[in-house]
Structure 1
Amino acid sequence: MSFTAEVRDELSRCEPVCEYCNLATLAALVRVSGTLSITGEGRRLAVTTETGAVARTMINLTHTVLKLKTTLTPRRSVLHKVRNYLITLPEQPGLDKALVLLGILDRKGRLVAGVPKHIVARPCCRLAYLRGALIAGGFVADPKGDFHLEIAVSGEELARGLARLIEEVGVRARVNPRRGAYAVYIKSAPDICRLLAALGAARSVAGVEDARAMKQVKNNVNRKVNAEFANQSRTADAAQHQVELIARAHALGIYDTLPEALRSFCDLRAAHPDLSLRDLGEMADPPLSKSALYHRVLRLEKLVGER
């Protein structure tokens, strides 16, 4: 099961807070995944989904909240070899009233463009509406790979309405047009966790947090490895430079005229060309500090440079 399917399944099992929360969840499900058709036989509402959680939630809430009949048709895409479900609310007594109640149509029979205000009048119902939208059109990337949550909807007003509801949770969501639709998306792991927690997906939050912690551990290890590699490279470059200075001193014929302290450093470096100055100082007799050896390197550079 994909991480998106896990999130949808967990959200579909959340209990309502008030008597209107189920209506809000159903309204979002229908609005995001539904299609309203008007034919000579009347109105027909159809919801197509590839997710069992959406189909199950849609049917259960339609029966319990609206008391309407539904038909379920399992199908399989010939092209993509994927099972999907068609849930249909055919023309029946009470359907027109239900469409108004769900905020799909207003009282004059016109389509409602944004989030219906009467559906999200209560804070708990606003969360229930977001829950339904995420169940119906949501995508949550596997946090082991990337942090990304989005809800795809067909209208800009609805997308911006959902973004405003998300902002009430303390999370900033962006809206982008995408192939004739709109995506409400979040790319921050803390924000994704905050939203999922507010919607009641505690198990999914734990999954994101675990993946985030693992990534932090890996990043810290990589930073330390990179830093160590960089230090080793600098040490090797510095040691090579010192060996070249010693060779230059020999070539100029000044090696035997160097002060004893410098010659002892040169002999030590020639014997151990790969050690850092700190390790080299520990091998000196008596031991010398890194700073003391560094000043001898500077003195050697000056003497060689004067020739």
Structure 2
Amino acid sequence: MSYTAEVRDELSRCEPACEYCDLATLAALVRVCGTLSIAGPGRYRLTVATETGAVARTMINLAHKMLKLRTEFTVRRSVLHKVRNYLIALPDQPGLDKALVLLGVLDRQGGLVQGVPRHVVARPCCRLSFIRGALIAGGFVADPRGDFHLEVAVSGERLARDLARLMREIGVNARVNRRRGAYAVYVKSAEDVRTLLHAVGAERSVRILEDARAMKSVKNDVNRKVNAELANQTRSAGAAQHQLELIAELEARGLRGTLPQALSEFCDLREAYPDLSLRDLGAMCDPPLSKSALYHRVLRLEKLLAE
């Protein structure tokens, strides 16, 4: 099961905080992945198509529990993609028009509601339930072992911006992006994804994310240390090669025998240990010398050759 499927499944099993939370969850589910067909005045059919079992289960359970309406359920299997497709429909029946108003799909005059219906998200817990329903219906959460990314695909700009606003109200930096005629409400940072999942009740998914985040941190620390060590070794090797070239130049000019004792000892030591850093080379001196002391001897050699 993918991480997205795990998140959706966990959210579909969350208990409502108040008697209206289930309505908010169902309203979000219908708005995100539902299709409303109008056969005539007061005659409607609401259909939800999904490949996710959590969406189908939530839709059927809440439609029966909250709306007391009859549902039609069809399972189809895609030969091309080798996945199941669930089709849940609320056919035209007495009370469906009132249910559509209650869900915020239609207003009292029969017009389509563009954004998030205010009466559905009047309470803070209901606002979280609406976000939860949107995540169940159209949410995608990247596997935290790879990248930190969460998004919800919706069809209308007003709905996308209202959903992003609800997320920002709980401290999540949500943004809206248009994609091929639809809209995506997305969250990019690990902390924002964690905050959102925690707020809507996906505690098991949060633990998985935090474990992956901790593992990434350890790997990044190890990589930084390894890269720093390789860089230091590269610089040290380059510096040692430069010092050997200085010594060879002194030999070529006949200046090696005229060097002061301190410089002569450094040249002998460098030739004997061409791979050591100045710090390690200094530790072999008697008495031991600091890296700075040996570096000043290198500068003196460079000055001699520059004269």
TM-score bin (small chain): over 0.9
Query: 5 Å matches for 1:194-205?
Result: 194-205=195-206
Residue 289 (structure 1) shift: 2.0
| SS of the residue 2:289 aligns to | coil
More off after superposition, 7-16 vs 289-298: 289-298
| SS of the residue 2:37 aligns to | strand
User: Corresponding residue for 2:238?
Assistant: 237
Residue 294 (structure 1) shift: 1.2
**Partners of 1:55 and 1:202 in 2: CA distance:** 22
Aligned: 1:148 with 2:149? yes
User: Corresponding residue for 2:26?
Assistant: 26
**Partners of 2:39 and 2:114 in 1: CA distance:** 21
**Partners of 2:142 and 2:207 in 1: CA distance:** 14
Residue 192 (structure 1) shift: 0.6
Stretches of structure 1 lacking an aligned partner (at least 5 in a row):
none
**Partners of 1:126 and 1:286 in 2: CA distance:** 73
User: Corresponding residue for 2:227?
Assistant: 226
| SS of the residue 2:245 aligns to | helix
What's the CA shift string for 1:227-251, capped at 9, x where partnerless?
0011001110111010000000000
Residue 80 (structure 1) shift: 1.6
More off after superposition, 163-172 vs 73-82: 73-82
- Opposite residue 153 of structure 2, the aligned amino acid is A
User: Corresponding residue for 1:54?
Assistant: 55
Residue 261 (structure 1) shift: 1.2
What's the CA shift string for 1:116-162, capped at 9, x where partnerless?
00000000000001100110010000011110000000000000000
User: Corresponding residue for 2:250?
Assistant: 249
What's the CA shift string for 1:190-223, capped at 9, x where partnerless?
0010011010011111111111111111111111
**Partners of 1:131 and 1:174 in 2: CA distance:** 17
Aligned: 1:45 with 2:46? yes
Query: 5 Å matches for 1:118-157?
Result: 118-157=119-158
- Which portions of structure 1, spanning 4 or more consecutive aligned residues, are displaced by more than 3 angstroms? none
What's the CA shift string for 1:48-78, capped at 9, x where partnerless?
0100000000000000000001011001123
- Opposite residue 216 of structure 2, the aligned amino acid is K
Residue 287 (structure 1) shift: 2.2
| SS of the residue 1:69 aligns to | coil
Aligned: 1:81 with 2:82? yes
User: Corresponding residue for 1:10?
Assistant: 10
- Opposite residue 56 of structure 1, the aligned amino acid is R
More off after superposition, 108-117 vs 289-298: 289-298
**Partners of 1:101 and 1:274 in 2: CA distance:** 78
CA RMSD across the alignment: 1.0
**Partners of 2:181 and 2:32 in 1: CA distance:** 14
More off after superposition, 286-295 vs 143-152: 286-295
**Partners of 1:68 and 1:145 in 2: CA distance:** 42
- Opposite residue 256 of structure 1, the aligned amino acid is G
Residue 40 (structure 1) shift: 5.5
**Partners of 2:144 and 2:290 in 1: CA distance:** 48
| TM-score using structure 2 length | 0.98
**Partners of 1:195 and 1:26 in 2: CA distance:** 19
Query: 5 Å matches for 1:156-235?
Result: 156-235=157-236
- Opposite residue 148 of structure 2, the aligned amino acid is F
Residue 81 (structure 1) shift: 1.9
**Partners of 1:225 and 1:69 in 2: CA distance:** 63
| SS of the residue 2:267 aligns to | helix
| SS of the residue 2:81 aligns to | coil
Query: 5 Å matches for 1:264-283?
Result: 264-283=265-284
User: Corresponding residue for 2:303?
Assistant: 302
- Opposite residue 173 of structure 1, the aligned amino acid is A
| SS of the residue 2:85 aligns to | strand
Residue 278 (structure 1) shift: 1.3
**Partners of 1:170 and 1:193 in 2: CA distance:** 11
**Partners of 2:78 and 2:115 in 1: CA distance:** 31
**Partners of 1:269 and 1:188 in 2: CA distance:** 50
Residue 38 (structure 1) shift: 1.4
Residue 92 (structure 1) shift: 0.7
Stretches of structure 2 lacking an aligned partner (at least 5 in a row):
none
- Opposite residue 185 of structure 2, the aligned amino acid is V
